[in-house]
Chain A
Amino acid sequence: MAAKKKQSQPAATDQLQLTFNSTAGTLKKKRTDDSPEPSSHPEAQSVAASQKTPDSTPDETSAARPTRKRTKAATAESMAAAQREISISEFFAKNRHLLGFDNKRKALLTAVKEAVDNSLDACEEAHILPEIQITIAQQDEDRFRITVRDNGPGIVKNQIPNIFGKLLYGSKFHRLRMSRGQQGIGISAAGLYGLLTTGRPIQITSRLPKKKEAHHYQLQIDTKKNKPDIVKEDIVPVDWANGTEVTIDLLASYIKGRQSVDEYLLQTAIANPHCTIIYKSSQDPQVEYRRTVNQLPLIPDEIKPHPHGVELGTMIKMLDDTAAKFLGGFLQSEFCRVSPGLCQQVCKQAGLSAKTSIKQLDGTKIEKIYKALQQAKLMAPPTNCLAPIGAEQILSGLLQGVKAEFYTASTRPPAVYRGNPFQVEVGLAYGGELGPSPTDISFGNETAAPPAARVIRFANRVPLLYQQSACCMFKSVLDINWSNYSISQSRGALPSAPLLIMIHLASVWVPFTSEAKEAIADYDEIRKEIRLALQECARRLGLLLSRKKRSQAFARRRDVFTRYIDELVSSTVAIARINRESLRNNLLKIAQRHTRVADQQYDEHGKLIEQDQADTPLANTIVVKPTTAPDTSNVSLFESDATTTEPSKKRRARKKIRTLS
C-alpha cells in the first residue's frame, strides 16, 4: 500500500453512496458530484470505487492519461496526483480472499464463523454461559440468509454501527489478552461481503439486559471512508432476553463435508463444551450441541507486552505514547516482568540512569536500552492472560463429538514465543466409530486398512478448517514418529489409525499465516510445545494400545485354558476318585490368575488400576469398554471379573451426538 500522508480535504462530498432500495432489490447510486460513471453492477462497485480519482482536476487527469501516439513520461507531479490513501475497507473489498471470502462455500462458513466467534467472546467476557442459535435459510439457489443470535450482554446502541459497519474497529486489537477475535475485521467484513454480493445491509438487533426493547440497525460499510452507513435505525420488541442477533444476506453455497458449517459447529462444540449451540439449516433437522460443562472458562487477564516480544520500532512508538516521564518509570509501567531491580540493571547495562528523562532519549540511546532489555534475563510473561480449555473439558468435548474407545488429553504448561505467552493442548480420540483398531483387524475378520488419522486444529478455541498442510499444527503431527506408539505411519504421512488428533493453541496473539485465520505460522517454540503435547498423549495411547494388545493375547490364552479345563477335569476324574467340582473350580481360579491381564484396566500412565479403583474416573484419559462382548459362551465363566471403567455420567451426556464425518 503506497499510502501517503492523510489527505485532509473534506472528501465526503465526492463519496459514492450506496443505498438500498428494498422493494426493487437493486442498488441505486446517488452521486453528489460529477465523478466518473460507475459500473452499475454491485460487484464491480468496489473496483470502480478504488479506481476513480475524485480529487484530481480534469487537467491533471488528462495529463496522466496515456495517448495513443506516445506515452508521455510521468512526472513526480503527475504521479502525485494519482497517489492517495487507500481505505482499509477498499483494500479488503478488493482482496476479500484475505479474509476468507474466496469462494461461495467458504464465504458462508466464514460469515457464520465470525458471528459465532464474536458471540462467544462477548458471552465469556460477560461471564455468561453461551447459548448460540445459528440459522441458515436458503433464499435462492446461491443466496442465503444467516442469522446468529447469542445470549450475550448486548451492545450499546452507539457502538453498533462502528462494530458492524467499520473494519478494524474493536476492543481486542490493542490489548494482550486471549480472545477469538483479534483485529476487529471479521464481522464487518462479513457484512461487507454480504453487501457486495447481495446489496443488502447487515442487520443487527441487540437487547441489553433488563431493557425492554431492542435496538435494530441496518448497516452498510462506506468502503471509501471505512465508516458505517446507517440504512435503518429502529427500536423493536423481541421475544428473547439480552443478546445480539446478526443477520447477513450473502451469496454462498451450502455443501456438507470437511469444511462445512456443520463441521465448524461440531468442532466448536468440541472445543467449547461450556456452550450450547443450536443449529438450524434449511435442509436438515435442527442440531443441538448441549453444554456438557457448566463452568465458564477462566476469563483471561490482559497483560502488558513482554520486553522480549517487542521490536525496536514498537518500543520507540511506546516511548512516544507513554505517560511516564522517566526511563525507569517507562520500563516498569509499560512492560510486564520488569522489576525495579531489573530496571536498574537494564539501565546500567545501557549506560543510562533510570532517571533519564524520556524526552532526552535519542535513537542510539533507545537502541542501547532495547539491546539491554533483550539481553536481560527476564521472567516469562505472566500466563493469566491465557485460558486453556483444560484437559477435562477437552475430554468432555471429545466425548460429545466423537464416539471413540480411548480419549486422552494433555495441557502443556504455558510457553512464550516472541514475548507472547501461549499454551498448547492436545486431545486424542482412538477407535470406536472412528474405525476399527488395527489390533482388532489383525485378530478379527476385517481386512480393511485402518483409516488415516484426522487432525482438528483450534486457535483460541476457534476451529481452523482450511489450509491444513500449511499449518504448524499439522506439520507437528507429521513430525511425530507414531510407530513409537504402536501406531503405523507411512513416511511423511498422517498415522494410519482410527485416530482423531485435536490440537489447540491458546495465545494472546495467535500467529496466523493470514488474516483469514486458517493456519498457524511455524514458530519453533510453538512447534516444540505441540510436539511435546502430542508425544505425551501418544505415549498414553501407545501404552493403552500395547496393553490392549496384551489383554487380547491373554484373552485368547484364557480361551484356550477354558476350552481345555473341562476336558482335563473329565479325564482326571475318569482316572482317580476326586471331586470334580473342586478340581474344576481350582483350575478356573488358576486360569483367572494367569490371564488376569485380560481383565485389567490401565490408567493414563499405563499403570495397572486395581479393581476397586477401576470405577473412578481417570485423570485425563477415558477408556470406553466396547459394548459388544465378543464370545459370550467362553467369557461367561469369567463374568465376575468383567468391570467397566466407563464413567457413566459422561456416557449419558452423549445422548445426542453427531459424529465427525
Chain B
Amino acid sequence: MSKSRNTTKGRPSGRSPDTLKKLVQLAELVYEHAQKGRDPSVDIPLRTLSNVHFNTKSRIIEMGRSKQTRNFFNYGQAKRFMQTILVAAKCKELLDAGKSASIRQIYYMAKHTIAGTQEKTFVDQSESDPILEDLEVATASLREELHVFAANRGALIGELQFIDSGDSIDATHLGSGGYAIPSIVEPEVIQFRKCSAKFVLHVEKDTVWRRFVEDRFWEQHHCIITHGGGQPPRGVRRLLYRLHHELKLPVYVLLDNDPWGYYIYSVIKQGSINLAYESQRMAVPEAKYIGVSSFDYDRCGLTDDVKLELDQADIKRSRQILEYPWFQGKKNWEREIKKLLSNGFKMEVEAMISKSLTYLTQEYLPYKLNNKTEWLD
C-alpha cells in the first residue's frame, strides 16, 4: 500500500519529515540548477489520458511514465513554475507549523501582487488547484501529506462505529444529516471500530441520499450509505476504499442514468485520469453499478415524464466512455451505453420517485440488490 501510511504517524499536526524533505529537495534542485547555469526545471508526470494506462490485472488506472519538464526559462511555463515553487513554499509553511489548510486557503495564502507590477500570482482558485496537483505528483506526495485538504463534500450514514480525530462516532445515531465525510480520512484521522453493515451503498448526490436516510434504508438492509455530491471527492473515494478493503464490504453504486453517472462509477471503480497516481489507494475495482440502467425504463414501466433528452455533449461523452480501455470488452456495458444512445434520453435516480415516493427504497433497490444479473460490472 501507500508508503505514506507507514511514514506519517499520528495526527496530521505532526510533522511529515519525508514530505518536508521532498519539498526541500525541490528547492535545492532549483538552486543547484541555477548555480550550474542550467534552467531550473521540475519534472511533472503528465496527468492526461495519454499518460494513463489501465492495469488489467489490478483493474485500476495507473499513471504512465511520461513527464513534462516545467522549465522556468520557458516563456510559456515561467509563471507556472514560479507558482509551483510558491505553492511548495506555502505547503512547507503548513508542515512547519503543523497545521493544515484547505485548497482555497492555500490559494489565498499564495495569492499576492508581484512586486512592481499589477500582476497577481494567482488569478483564481482554478489556477492554484492544478498547481497543487502538479506539486503532489512532482514530489510523489499526497495532498494530505502536504497538509492540504479540500472542502468537505459527501456524507455517510449506516451501521458503522468509528473514531474521527479521537471522537467516537456511531453512524447510526446521526439524525438526518449524517456524517460529513472529511477530506482526509487516513487511518491517523479515522479508525474503524465496529461494523455490522453488509455492504456500502454509494449514491450520486445528497437528495437521493436523503431519501434513503429518511426511509431508514440502512436499518432495514444493514448497510452504510454514502454520497459524494456528484463526482466524489478524494475523501469519499478514499473512505470507500477503506470500507471495502479493511472491512471487506462490497460497494454498490446507484447513479443517474447518463454518461456522467457512468463516469462517476468508473472513477470509483478504477480511478480517475487526473488523479491516476492515487488510483491504487482509492479505486475499488469490485464496485458494482446497480442502477439506474437504461433498461430500467421499460422494466419499471416509467412514463415519458422522466425522460431527459440526450444532448450532443451527452452523446459525445457516452461514446468517449465506451472507448476507454477499461470499458472495452465489457459486453453488458456496451449494451448499456448503446441502449442509452438508442433510447435518446437519460434518467435521474429521482425518476423512480415518479412511481411512488417509496418506490426507490422499497421496491427498486431491493429488486436490484436481489438480482445480481442486473448489475453492471
Interface hits, A568-619 → B, CB 8 Å: 568, 570-576, 578, 582-583, 586-587, 589-591, 593-594
| Contact assessment for A572 and B75 in the assembled complex, using a CB-CB cutoff below 8 Å | no
**CB neighbours of B81 from chain A (8 A):** 564, 568
| Contact assessment for B114 and A575 in the assembled complex, using a CB-CB cutoff below 8 Å | no
Q: How far is the CB of A552 from chain B (nearest CB, A)?
A: 13
Q: Does B115 contact A (CB under 8 A)?
A: yes
| Contact assessment for A572 and B30 in the assembled complex, using a CB-CB cutoff below 8 Å | yes
- Given the interface pairs A575-B23, A575-B89, A634-B116, the reply to whether A564 lies near B79 with Cβ below 8 Å is yes
Complex formed: what's the CA distance from A568 to B29 in Å? 13
| Closest residue of A by beta carbon distance from B38 | A590
| Contact assessment for A578 and B79 in the assembled complex, using a CB-CB cutoff below 8 Å | no
| Contact assessment for A576 and B40 in the assembled complex, using a CB-CB cutoff below 8 Å | no
Complex formed: what's the CA distance from A593 to B39 in Å? 11
Q: Does A566 contact B (CB under 8 A)?
A: yes
| Closest residue of A by beta carbon distance from B20 | A575
A568 interface neighbour in B24, B37, B72, B75, Cβ under 8 Å: B72
Q: Does B306 contact A (CB under 8 A)?
A: no
**CB neighbours of A586 from chain B (8 A):** 34-35, 37
Q: How large is the interface on A (under 10, 10 to 19, 20 to 34, 35 or more residues)?
A: 20 to 34
| Contact assessment for B35 and A568 in the assembled complex, using a CB-CB cutoff below 8 Å | no
Complex formed: what's the CA distance from A633 to B114 in Å? 13
**CB neighbours of A573 from chain B (8 A):** 27
**CB neighbours of A578 from chain B (8 A):** 27-28, 31
**CB neighbours of B72 from chain A (8 A):** 561, 564, 568, 587
Complex formed: what's the CA distance from A578 to B25 in Å? 11
**CB neighbours of B75 from chain A (8 A):** 557, 560
Q: How far is the CB of B136 from chain A (nearest CB, A)?
A: 16
| Contact assessment for A561 and B73 in the assembled complex, using a CB-CB cutoff below 8 Å | yes
| Contact assessment for B34 and A576 in the assembled complex, using a CB-CB cutoff below 8 Å | no
A574 interface neighbour in B28, B39, B89, B117, Cβ under 8 Å: B89
- Given the interface pairs A571-B82, A576-B27, the reply to whether A587 lies near B34 with Cβ below 8 Å is yes
Complex formed: what's the CA distance from A587 to B92 in Å? 22
| Contact assessment for A561 and B85 in the assembled complex, using a CB-CB cutoff below 8 Å | no
Contacts A/B (CB < 8 Å), 5 sampled = A561-B73, A568-B40, A572-B31, A575-B85, A576-B31
**Total residues of chain B contacting the partner, CB 8 A:** 32
| Contact assessment for A560 and B79 in the assembled complex, using a CB-CB cutoff below 8 Å | yes
Q: How far is the CB of A183 from chain B (nearest CB, A)?
A: 64
Residue interface mask B307-351, A partner, CB < 8 A = 1: 000000000000000000000000000000000000000000000
Known pairs A563-B114, A571-B86, A591-B73; list 19 more (Cβ under 8 Å).
A561-B72, A564-B78, A564-B79, A567-B121, A568-B30, A568-B40, A568-B72, A568-B81, A570-B89, A571-B27, A571-B89, A572-B89, A578-B27, A578-B28, A583-B34, A583-B35, A586-B35, A590-B39, A633-B116
Q: How far is the CB of B18 from chain A (nearest CB, A)?
A: 15
Q: How far is the CB of B107 from chain A (nearest CB, A)?
A: 15
A575 interface neighbour in B24, B38, B121, Cβ under 8 Å: B24
| Contact assessment for A590 and B73 in the assembled complex, using a CB-CB cutoff below 8 Å | yes
**CB neighbours of B78 from chain A (8 A):** 560-561, 564
Residue interface mask A539-557, B partner, CB < 8 A = 1: 0000000000000000001
| Contact assessment for A563 and B37 in the assembled complex, using a CB-CB cutoff below 8 Å | no
Interface hits, B99-135 → A, CB 8 Å: 114-117, 119, 121
Q: How far is the CB of A480 from chain B (nearest CB, A)?
A: 34
- Given the interface pairs A563-B119, A567-B114, the reply to whether A575 lies near B88 with Cβ below 8 Å is yes
| Contact assessment for A571 and B85 in the assembled complex, using a CB-CB cutoff below 8 Å | yes
**CB neighbours of A575 from chain B (8 A):** 23-24, 26-27, 85, 88-89, 92
Interface hits, B31-58 → A, CB 8 Å: 31, 34-35, 37-40
**CB neighbours of A583 from chain B (8 A):** 30-31, 34-35
Complex formed: what's the CA distance from A332 to B75 in Å? 72
Q: Does B206 contact A (CB under 8 A)?
A: no
Complex formed: what's the CA distance from A591 to B71 in Å? 12
Pick from A570, A571, A574 the residue with the most CB of B within 10 Å: A571
Interface hits, A56-104 → B, CB 8 Å: none
What's the A-B contact tally at a CB cutoff of 8 Å?
85
**CB neighbours of A567 from chain B (8 A):** 82, 86, 114-115, 121
Complex formed: what's the CA distance from A633 to B37 in Å? 25
**CB neighbours of B40 from chain A (8 A):** 568, 587
Complex formed: what's the CA distance from A593 to B72 in Å? 13
Q: How far is the CB of A584 from chain B (nearest CB, A)?
A: 9
List the 8 closest pairs (A to B, CB-CB), nearest first. A575-B27, A576-B27, A586-B34, A571-B89, A574-B89, A564-B82, A571-B85, A571-B86
| Contact assessment for A590 and B28 in the assembled complex, using a CB-CB cutoff below 8 Å | no
| Contact assessment for B31 and A574 in the assembled complex, using a CB-CB cutoff below 8 Å | no
Q: How far is the CB of B344 from chain A (nearest CB, A)?
A: 50
Q: How far is the CB of B139 from chain A (nearest CB, A)?
A: 11
Complex formed: what's the CA distance from A490 to B146 in Å? 60
Complex formed: what's the CA distance from A557 to B76 in Å? 9
Pick from B37, B72, B79 the residue with the most CB of A within 10 Å: B72
Complex formed: what's the CA distance from A284 to B53 in Å? 84
Residue interface mask A619-650, B partner, CB < 8 A = 1: 00000000000000110000000000000000
| Contact assessment for B73 and A572 in the assembled complex, using a CB-CB cutoff below 8 Å | no
| Closest residue of A by beta carbon distance from B72 | A568
**CB neighbours of A566 from chain B (8 A):** 114-115
Complex formed: what's the CA distance from A586 to B37 in Å? 7
Q: Does B93 contact A (CB under 8 A)?
A: yes
Interface hits, B152-180 → A, CB 8 Å: none
| Contact assessment for A594 and B73 in the assembled complex, using a CB-CB cutoff below 8 Å | yes
Complex formed: what's the CA distance from A572 to B72 in Å? 13
**CB neighbours of B114 from chain A (8 A):** 563-564, 566-567
Q: How far is the CB of A598 from chain B (nearest CB, A)?
A: 13
Complex formed: what's the CA distance from A590 to B36 in Å? 10
| Contact assessment for B37 and A576 in the assembled complex, using a CB-CB cutoff below 8 Å | no
Q: How far is the CB of A583 from chain B (nearest CB, A)?
A: 5
**CB neighbours of A571 from chain B (8 A):** 27, 82, 85-86, 88-89
Q: How far is the CB of A428 from chain B (nearest CB, A)?
A: 32
Q: How far is the CB of B202 from chain A (nearest CB, A)?
A: 39
| Closest residue of B by beta carbon distance from A554 | B75
Pick from B38, B81, B82, B116 the residue with the most CB of A within 10 Å: B82
| Contact assessment for A576 and B24 in the assembled complex, using a CB-CB cutoff below 8 Å | yes
**CB neighbours of A634 from chain B (8 A):** 116
Q: How far is the CB of B93 from chain A (nearest CB, A)?
A: 7
Complex formed: what's the CA distance from A567 to B75 in Å? 16
**CB neighbours of A564 from chain B (8 A):** 72, 78-79, 81-82, 114
Complex formed: what's the CA distance from A372 to B56 in Å? 94
Pick from B40, B89, B92, B114 the residue with the most CB of A within 10 Å: B89
Complex formed: what's the CA distance from A583 to B86 in Å? 15
